[in-house]
């Protein structure tokens, strides 16, 4: 039997602990000066930046807008979408002002710095083509805006004040979605002894596991001669498990094997994490100490069986995520990421694909903690271009360096179970592309022999003929559900991954009539129907993927496009204005669930009840007209009532993919009042019910926070869902009132978002219209603890106010 076996378990967290006189990590998050534009002498120490904007990092300069249809306007035929004739695309990159150059400057001093120290300057993401200067001298440059990179700046650093200057340049026609702009991820300075553990120099695996014990292998690269290494493993409660000392080096690498008895295995259900503390000695002198979180888990990919985690066959119930965080832009924020993952966890999602670029360290840390498997992707382009100024310009010089940094920086995360070397690259066709695929895969294997490599393939026929798909560890199909069977027969691996699926389009709370399944459907209001039956020419509705996932054991799972709406790519309205963000999300740009969320939840979440009715029941002017009612539930049957009158019982069946996964009453005629559904268990006994009521005029504002207590760190967020109800407390699903926001106390207003892909209101301004009766306000903590109060007002509405707490 053809079998691919990968055994691995986690490692290195990306935020090092600071140790007095040994190692200090200083995050450069405050005291930055920023100015957009190209300034010839901005790298010089004495450059006058007094009139520049004061900002903190992470920072995305473009998210503050304004939206403009002429920004990065592209005349292009999108080959991936099957287009053959170029047309004008106005919102493809989000219609936000991300192009051009900008400078960042920061003055800092280093604690515990001495001349003999080694100093590392680490960037976790800089968009894009960064040029780095320290104390007036160029340290180096990078190309890829999504890559992590670092420089040894020991020769440039000095005691006292240091001046860091960074120039970033975003070219037009360089992206297919909103890339963001600026120092959008962390910047840090690491000070340590010259005799020290290398940056990303720890690699932990578990080559042997059973219920009684696990062998933990730790390879540690260090800049040292005649030294020794002591590594101690601790459990999640801080109890010491075992320790090992070695003075044997192979080249510049220590190799240790440490036993863990009665290991607790990492999985999405039980994301248990251990910690390894590595201490580097010269004689009796401790020179360096690094703490690394890791987990213990076993992964296998087997022909005809699929993917197994810790010995159990497991399907990927995954989503693809772009790197922007909606109204925050691309500036990384851990609270925003945690909220996304919390929403996905409730849906039953167990896996994330970073699309189509390197994930943030924070995202991986949270996936380790919260229990998500991760497909870490690298590139959207190889040597052949998709866009004029894309990654193909750098591929030959940077691809290997970017992969090395990706793998070495993140390979210790237990969440990562697969790498991806590319997405829908034009290189899928032709012999040169096959060679590139092998070259990239070999680099991944060299840096990490424990995980497989995939590519998201859309030119499936071509990859069958060329051998491209056959050489991959995991053949990933983007859409092409009609080719799954043929690909399974022709590819030798014995399994298929839905590396990108569905691309169903919908707008939260918007319903169109008549209700029919269509592709490329467009409407005058530039919205898509939330009956979840509309897709693109190259994609499909969710039920078609569900059939393959449920009926074919050799289909190892799917990654749905996408978990959340994102800025840019407003298909099917990328030739229309205004339209500046996607419709693909299971949740909208504000993170509010669309109806489709409950369709996936009814199938993926095996522990909680799902019973969801659509559409809303406010249809003035449609009285007596056919208004179909769908129910998404994990029960097999249900009865529908309109104002107490039964519309009959529907039971899931296999007559069509939709009938198999949805309960649908297609002949219901609208009459205002009460819509109720009663669900039955397998024995036909009523076990759950839900109802919708027709609402009156908007009367009162309701505020519902996802969190009431924030950390007083100047970064934490509470996402407050704002809605309106009538005098009887019934939600008003069609409300579009203009609202205003004010935050007082020890917090500040950060942003708002209503999930409307056609809205041109700026996120950072304290006013916005409701969309389909809802929006979300982001309240941010300050550095002081205390009470925060949010006030939301709207003309003719009873205002809403909410008190939050901020603590140290």
Active site residue ranges: 424, 500
Nearest to 299 by CA among 290, 315, 310: 310
Nearest to 476 by CA among 484, 466, 465: 484
Rounded Cα distance between 510 and 516, Å, is 15
Residues 6 or more apart whose CB falls under 8 angstroms from that of 202 comprise: 11, 12, 218, 219, 220, 221, 276, 278, 290, 292, 412
| Rg of the chain (C-alpha set) | 27
Alpha-helix residue ranges (DSSP H) falling in 376-430: 395-410
Which residue has 């300075």 as its token pair? Answer: 189
Q: How many CB atoms lie within 10 A of CB 715?
A: 20
**Burial of 746 by CB count in 10 Å (0-12 exposed, 13-18 middle, 19+ buried)?**
buried
List Cα–Cα distances, 373 to 301, 349, 418, in angstroms.
14, 10, 9
List the beta bridge partners of residue 187.
123
Rounded Cα distance between 372 and 364, Å, is 9
Show the tokens assigned to 471. Answer: 């050489």
DSSP-based three-state secondary structure for 327: helix
- Please report, to the nearest 10 degrees, the dihedral formed by the alpha carbons of residues 478, 482, 485, 489 taken in order: -70
Number of residues assigned to the chain: 808
Spell out a b/e string for 294-326, using b for 16 or more CB atoms within 10 Å of the CB, else e: bbbbbbbbbeebbbbbbeeebbbbbbbbbbbbb
Strand pairing report for 274-282 and 228-234: antiparallel
**169 backbone dihedrals φ, ψ, rounded to 5°:** -140, 120
What is the DSSP secondary structure assignment for residue 473, as one 8-state letter?
Answer: S
Residues 6 or more apart whose CB falls under 8 angstroms from that of 765 comprise: none
Nearest to 535 by CA among 511, 555, 516: 516
Rounded Cα distance between 608 and 597, Å, is 14
Residues 6 or more apart whose CB falls under 8 angstroms from that of 693 comprise: 617, 673, 674, 675, 730
Which residue has 């167990």 as its token pair? Answer: 350
Report the phi/psi class of residue 480: left, alpha or beta, with left for phi > 0 and alpha for psi in -120 to 50.
left
What is the DSSP secondary structure assignment for residue 380, as one 8-state letter?
Answer: S
Strand pairing report for 474-478 and 453-457: parallel
Report the phi/psi class of residue 794: left, alpha or beta, with left for phi > 0 and alpha for psi in -120 to 50.
beta
Nearest to 677 by CA among 710, 707, 637: 637
**335 backbone dihedrals φ, ψ, rounded to 5°:** -65, -40
Nearest to 126 by CA among 150, 154, 162: 150
- Taking 3-state DSSP, the helix, strand and coil percentages for the chain, each rounded to the nearest 5, stand at 15, 40, 45
Dihedral sign (CA 346, 347, 351, 357): negative
First-residue to last-residue Cα distance in the chain: 57
Nearest to 255 by CA among 242, 246, 267, 264: 246
DSSP-based three-state secondary structure for 553: coil
Show the tokens assigned to 355. Answer: 């699309």
Strand pairing report for 131-134 and 137-141: antiparallel
Show the tokens assigned to 660. Answer: 């198999």
């Amino acid at each position: 039997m053809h079998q691919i076996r990968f055994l691995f378990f986690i490692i290195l967290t990306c935020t090092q602990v600071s140790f007095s006189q040994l190692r200090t990590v200083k995050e450069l998050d405050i005291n930055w000066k920023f100015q957009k534009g190209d300034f010839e002498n901005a790298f010089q120490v004495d450059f006058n930046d007094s009139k520049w904007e004061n900002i903190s990092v992470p920072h995305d300069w473009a998210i503050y807008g304004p939206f403009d249809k002429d920004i990065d306007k592209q005349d292009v035929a999108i080959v991936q979408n099957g287009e053959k004739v170029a047309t004008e695309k106005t919102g493809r990159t989000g219609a936000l002002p991300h192009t051009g150059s900008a400078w960042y400057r920061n003055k800092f001093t280093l604690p515990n710095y001495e001349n003999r120290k080694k100093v590392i300057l680490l960037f976790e993401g800089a968009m894009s083509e960064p040029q780095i200067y320290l104390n007036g001298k160029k340290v180096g440059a990078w190309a890829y805006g999504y890559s992590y990179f670092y420089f040894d700046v020991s020769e440039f650093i000095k005691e006292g004040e240091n001046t860091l200057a960074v120039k970033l340049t975003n070219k037009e026609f360089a992206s297919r979605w909103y890339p963001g702009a600026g120092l959008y991820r962390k910047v840090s300075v690491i000070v340590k002894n010259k005799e020290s553990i290398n940056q990303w120099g720890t690699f932990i695996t578990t080559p042997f596991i059973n219920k009684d014990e696990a062998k933990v292998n730790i390879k540690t690269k260090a800049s040292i001669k005649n030294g020794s290494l002591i590594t101690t493993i601790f459990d999640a409660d801080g109890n010491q498990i075992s320790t090992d000392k070695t003075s044997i080096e192979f080249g510049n690498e220590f190799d240790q094997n440490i036993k863990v008895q009665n290991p607790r295995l990492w999985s999405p259900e039980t994301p248990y994490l251990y910690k390894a503390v590595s201490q580097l000695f010269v004689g009796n002198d401790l020179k360096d100490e690094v703490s690394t979180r890791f987990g213990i888990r076993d992964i296998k990919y087997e022909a005809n069986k699929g993917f197994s985690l810790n010995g159990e066959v497991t399907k990927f119930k995954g989503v693809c995520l772009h790197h922007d965080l909606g109204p925050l832009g691309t500036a990384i924020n851990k609270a925003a990421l945690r909220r996304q993952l919390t929403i996905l966890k409730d849906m039953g999602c167990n896996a994330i694909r970073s699309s189509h670029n390197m994930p943030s360290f924070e995202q991986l840390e949270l996936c380790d903690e919260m229990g998500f498997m991760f497909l870490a992707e690298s590139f959207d382009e190889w040597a052949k271009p998709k866009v004029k100024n894309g990654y193909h310009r750098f591929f030959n010089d940077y691809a290997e360096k970017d992969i090395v940094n990706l793998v070495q920086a993140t390979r210790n995360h237990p969440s990562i179970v697969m790498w991806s070397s590319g997405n829908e690259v034009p290189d899928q066709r032709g012999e040169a592309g096959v060679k590139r695929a092998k070259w990239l895969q070999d680099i991944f294997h060299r840096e990490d022999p424990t995980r497989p490599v995939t590519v998201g393939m859309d030119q499936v026929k071509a990859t069958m003929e060329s051998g491209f798909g056959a050489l991959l560890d995991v053949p990933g199909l983007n859409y092409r559900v009609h080719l799954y069977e043929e690909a399974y027969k022709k590819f030798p691996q014995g399994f298929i991954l839905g590396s990108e699926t569905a691309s169903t389009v919908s707008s939260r709370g918007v319903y169109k009539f008549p209700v029919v399944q269509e592709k490329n459907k467009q409407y005058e209001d530039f919205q898509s129907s939330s009956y979840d039956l509309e897709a693109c020419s190259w994609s499909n509705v969710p039920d078609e993927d569900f059939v393959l996932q449920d009926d074919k054991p050799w289909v190892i799972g799917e990654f749905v496009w996408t978990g959340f709406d994102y800025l840019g790519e407003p298909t099917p309205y990328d030739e229309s204005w205004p339209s500046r963000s996607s419709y693909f999300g299971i949740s909208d740009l504000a993170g509010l669930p669309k109806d489709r969320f409950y369709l996936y939840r009814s199938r993926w979440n095996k522990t909680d009840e799902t019973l969801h009715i659509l559409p809303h029941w406010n249809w003035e002017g449609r009285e007596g007209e056919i208004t179909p009612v769908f129910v998404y539930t994990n029960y097999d049957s249900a009865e529908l009532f309109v104002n107490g009158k039964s519309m009959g019982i529907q039971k899931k069946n296999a007559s069509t993919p939709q009938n198999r996964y949805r309960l649908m009453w297609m002949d219901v005629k609208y009459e205002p009042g009460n819509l109720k559904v009663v669900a039955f268990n397998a024995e036909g006994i009523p076990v759950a019910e839900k109802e919708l009521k027709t609402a009156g005029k908007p009367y009162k504002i309701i505020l519902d926070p996802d969190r009431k207590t924030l950390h007083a760190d100047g970064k934490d967020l509470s996402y407050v869902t704002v809605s309106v109800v009538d005098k009887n407390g019934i939600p008003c699903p069609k409300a579009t009132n203009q609202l205003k926001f004010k935050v007082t106390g020890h917090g500040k207003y950060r942003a708002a978002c209503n999930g409307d892909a056609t809205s041109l209101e700026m996120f950072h301004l304290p006013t916005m219209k409701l969309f389909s009766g809802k929006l979300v306000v982001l309240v941010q903590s300050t550095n002081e603890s205390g009470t925060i109060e949010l006030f939301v007002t709207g003309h003719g509405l009873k205002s809403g106010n909410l008190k939050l707490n901020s603590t140290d």
